[in-house]
Chains A and B, each alone.
Chain A
Amino acid sequence: DAKTTQPPSMDCAEGRAANLPCNHSTISGNEYVYWYRQIHSQGPQYIIHGLKNNETNEMASLIITEDRKSSTLILPHATLRDTAVYYCIVRVGGNAGNMLTFGGGTRLMVKP
């Protein structure tokens, strides 16, 4: 799986959009970009994934650059409950047998 690089921490004001960047310059053509988050003391939670098109679901939006070397997770209206560590992972999709490799992630702090 390709390596990802994320900033170690970010702050965001409550109610504003949180934009979390991820670099994955060595991503392969068949690798998807996945985002998980881990709220303190809980198990990681799946957020969203995509291959090359932008994706949106009830939790977030995922913007992938045209060259696929970077992506941004957007939480449109961050709340205090969105405070968590966010992990960006690239891996081959549709084959859940591939091991997930979690790096350090970005610690997002949403402030009142």
Chain B
Amino acid sequence: NAGVTQTPKFRILKIGQSMTLQCTQDMNHNYMYWYRQDPGMGLKLIYYSVGAGITDKGEVPNGYNVSRSTTEDFPLRLELAAPSQTSVYFCASSHHTGNTIYFGEGSWLTVV
């Protein structure tokens, strides 16, 4: 199993550009999450999904959108990139009855 896979690993965006961070998992998990982590800080939840077709806002959703058309995929979209969105983004997934959340390797995004 590949687990949770994120792409791209690194990206530089100009202010105002749009992009999508891709996330896929092959563990048939119901729950998927997007977190961001600023330098030296803990993780903050952006959006999460409890199943295909269902998404909910987390702690810091402004400036982002998500969709969950399949169980496997949970892309995160930035519509108008801003310098404040420079961060490391982590996708994660878990089974709905499980206690363990599995994280991807992270996507480093810089907005200049």
Contacts and interface: CB of A to CB of B under 8 A. Distances in A.
Interface of A: 32, 34, 41-46, 49, 87, 93-97, 99-105
Interface size class of B (residues with CB under 8 A): 20 to 34
13 contacts: A43-B106, A44-B43, A46-B102, A96-B98, A97-B31, A97-B48, A97-B50, A99-B59, A100-B33, A100-B101, A101-B59, A102-B43, A105-B42
A46 B45 contact: no
Nearest to A45: B103
Interface in B60-112: 90, 92, 94-106
B105 A43 contact: yes
Contact of A49 (B33, B42, B94, B99): B99
A42 B48 CA distance: 20
A100 B45 CA distance: 8
A103 B42 contact: yes
A44 B45 CA distance: 13
A97 B72 CA distance: 16
